[in-house]
Structure 1
Amino acid sequence: MKVLPKSASLLHAFKSSSIIHFSIAQYSTDFSHLPGARQPKKPQKSTSRRLLEISHEQVVSSFKHSVDLVRQHDFDNYIGGLFSPKAAQPGIFAVLAFNVELAQIREKVGADSKSTTGIYRLQFWKDTLESIFNKRVGPVPRQPIAIALCSFASTSPFLLWESIVTARQQTIGDRQFKTVDEACKYGLSTWGSVIKLWMNSLATISPNASSLIDHPQAIQAAEHVATAFSMANMVRSALPLLSRGIVLLPADLCSIHGVTPDRLYNKKQENESKGVIRDLINIASDELLKARSLKAAVPKELRPALLSFVASCEYIIRTTKKADYLLFDKKLQRRNALLPWTLLWRRARDSY
């Protein structure tokens, strides 16, 4: 049987697919080798608080739920996840689904900082993580994403999961970032942790069974990409958030360019806001260059974790420049229809 080279086999797999909606067996998540139920490390003193048994069927159902959630609410990274090795995909989609779940809490709470709903739901996830990682005594809830995370508790750093929840707890209510540095730190705590956990899933299936901590330059590249993506994503999401009465654009940049939230709401500072958007895009571009300068030091098996973030960031930067940095240009809200092909090409070249 003739074996096609990697790039040729990838192109062959995509021949019959459409650009956005494709369903190919080669690029579907494999659930045939999922880990079994989690066993508690210590016997529980109280039978009423015993960790719940998790069957293989529940694990499979939970991961399918995670994949569906990511496909519906984070399509770019859903495509990116499909380009990762199948053995790592369950862990990757568990990470992405967890991030989507927390993001939806913020969307539901919105700008109502007096609401306690979001606070309680975020605390629920913090308690759930502590139960999964044996940081507290208590059962793992029969919640699909919690069950999915449970299967990978022993192979991922607790601090990265905790960082995502803590960052969202600290920004509940969608208050405007005071400074660019504050916005960057939030991006590192959220998207940075997601990318590192993605890398960790890839590292654990590598032939050498290496740990992410063994690759400091890969971690550094992940942080640069996370910062770039956070700045670019802030630009892309500015208009949808503005329609809900929310402004997250850093206050220090807005002050420099004479932009105020009230005038932005009324679309009276379109030209003034160009300066803010340009500065954010320039930061994103600089961070991408720094990430790419480290490419040779990032192991090939970890690079898929950066693919979709870099491609999405580049698309936002390119589209924003074409729109002449106009915040209200509708082109910024269009999906990148060529994303699968971009990822296909870069994966074939082991690049990002």
Structure 2
Amino acid sequence: MLERIFNFLIQISSQSDPINVIKEAQEYCVGLVKNFDPDRYLITLAAPKNTQAALIVLFAFNVEIERILNTVSEETLGRIKLQWWREGLESVFNGKPRKHMVLIALKSILDKFPICHSTLEEIIDAQEQALEKQGLKSFHQLYNHGQRTGGNLFKLSAGFIKCNAQLGLELGTIFALVQLMKSIKVDQLKGRCYLPSIQLNEIESAKAVNVYKTTLNEILKCLPKISSDSSSFSKICYWIVSYDLRFLNEKQSIFYEDREWHLGWRKCLIAMRIFALR
């Protein structure tokens, strides 16, 4: 009986221990990124070991924001949820994070890694604008969206691993744009279209295919050059987007419906590249 009481008291104590709470929050972030953003999860493995946990936390924040767009059916509800995250960020930078695993994890890395509050807010603002489901008129608008989302994310990542911020911004932008080109079917079901000058009801038209191919070529033109002394993080990002752009260009359809064996093979190729860069 006394043993059971002792174990119960230990359990309560461990649950309230700040160290255990932070560890639990970080583990939550790992699972979130691994399940919902597997490419960025793999990319963290190419980063210095002392930065990997922090990168996972940053990417977990991005997953939470992107999931709002993918799960809400009403614009108003999406805005409410995004506003909650804005206020959640404020609580983190004020030193008293709300009781959410990602916010707790963000607070735990603030002292060691440079995180710009306004940059994270811009990611939220860009996704809020996407809630409006207004069509893009030009590639410039598409690029701007990618820059404000994935570009900002990798710019912050560059600060973590102490590499070129501009290169991080450019690589992150291309990374985000390639993801959008791979998710056209999913976005169509959510009532959004990121193809410039294409309306939602035109996605399956010949015009859309032409714009899709043109957009892929424009993305390729914007891909920055990687020098031999670039970080392994930058090199693996470059390899992934280059591989995906080649693959997408070879497909006849604009809808990305990859086979399971190819997804597995692609994952193995990425892992081998990371191993070779170590």
2:255 to 328, 346, 349: 328
Instruction: Determine if the alignment matches structure 1 residue 286 to structure 2 residue 228.
Output: no
- Give the equivalent residue in structure 1 for 2:200: 261
Q: Secondary structure at the match of 2:254?
A: coil
Counterpart amino acid of residue 82 in structure 1: L
8 Å contact from structure 1 (residues 63, 144) kept in 2: yes
Instruction: Determine if the alignment matches structure 1 residue 70 to structure 2 residue 33.
Output: yes
2:267 to 302, 327, 339: 339
How far is the alpha carbon of 1:158 from its aligned partner?
2.0
Q: TM-score, normalised by structure 1?
A: 0.67
Instruction: Determine if the alignment matches structure 1 residue 242 to structure 2 residue 169.
Output: no
Q: Secondary structure at the match of 1:127?
A: helix
2:177 to 231, 243, 260: 231
8 Å contact from structure 1 (residues 62, 147) kept in 2: yes
Q: How does 1:63-102 map to 2 (within 5 A)?
A: 63-102=26-65
How far is the alpha carbon of 1:336 from its aligned partner?
5.9
Q: Secondary structure at the match of 1:140?
A: coil
How far is the alpha carbon of 1:314 from its aligned partner?
1.9
8 Å contact from structure 1 (residues 191, 230) kept in 2: yes
User: More helix per residue: 1 or 2?
Assistant: 2
Q: Which runs of 5+ in 1 are unaligned?
A: 1-52, 204-214, 255-259
8 Å contact from structure 1 (residues 79, 340) kept in 2: no
8 Å contact from structure 1 (residues 236, 332) kept in 2: no
1:163–1:347: structure 2 CA closer, same or farther, 3 Å change rule?
farther
- Give the equivalent residue in structure 1 for 2:6: none
Q: How does 1:6-25 map to 2 (within 5 A)?
A: none
- Give the equivalent residue in structure 2 for 1:26: none
Q: Give the aligned length.
A: 260
Q: Secondary structure at the match of 1:171?
A: helix
8 Å contact from structure 1 (residues 88, 201) kept in 2: yes
Q: How does 1:1-352 map to 2 (within 5 A)?
A: 55-110=18-73, 112-113=74-75, 116-134=76-94, 139-154=96-111, 155-156=113-114, 157-203=116-162, 218-251=164-197, 254=198, 260-264=199-203, 267=204, 269=205, 271-288=206-223, 290-292=224-226, 295-296=227-228, 298=230, 300=231, 303-304=232-233, 306-324=234-252, 326-328=253-255, 330-331=257-258, 335=263, 337-345=265-273, 348-349=276-277
Identical pairs, percent? 22
Once residues 67 and 329 of structure 1 are traced to their aligned partners in structure 2, the CA distance between those partners, rounded to angstroms, is 26
Q: TM-score, normalised by structure 2?
A: 0.83
- Give the equivalent residue in structure 2 for 1:4: none
Once residues 119 and 271 of structure 2 are traced to their aligned partners in structure 1, the CA distance between those partners, rounded to angstroms, is 26
Counterpart amino acid of residue 242 in structure 1: Q
How far is the alpha carbon of 1:329 from its aligned partner?
5.9
Q: Structure 1: which 4+ aligned runs deviate by more than 6 Å?
A: none
1:160-189 deviations in Å (ceiling 9; x for gaps): 212211212222243322322121111111
Counterpart amino acid of residue 330 in structure 1: E
Once residues 256 and 96 of structure 2 are traced to their aligned partners in structure 1, the CA distance between those partners, rounded to angstroms, is 48
Q: Secondary structure at the match of 2:195?
A: coil
1:5-48 deviations in Å (ceiling 9; x for gaps): xxxxxxxxxxxxxxxxxxxxxxxxxxxxxxxxxxxxxxxxxxxx
How far is the alpha carbon of 1:219 from its aligned partner?
1.9
Once residues 190 and 285 of structure 1 are traced to their aligned partners in structure 2, the CA distance between those partners, rounded to angstroms, is 18
How far is the alpha carbon of 1:69 from its aligned partner?
0.4
8 Å contact from structure 1 (residues 179, 250) kept in 2: yes
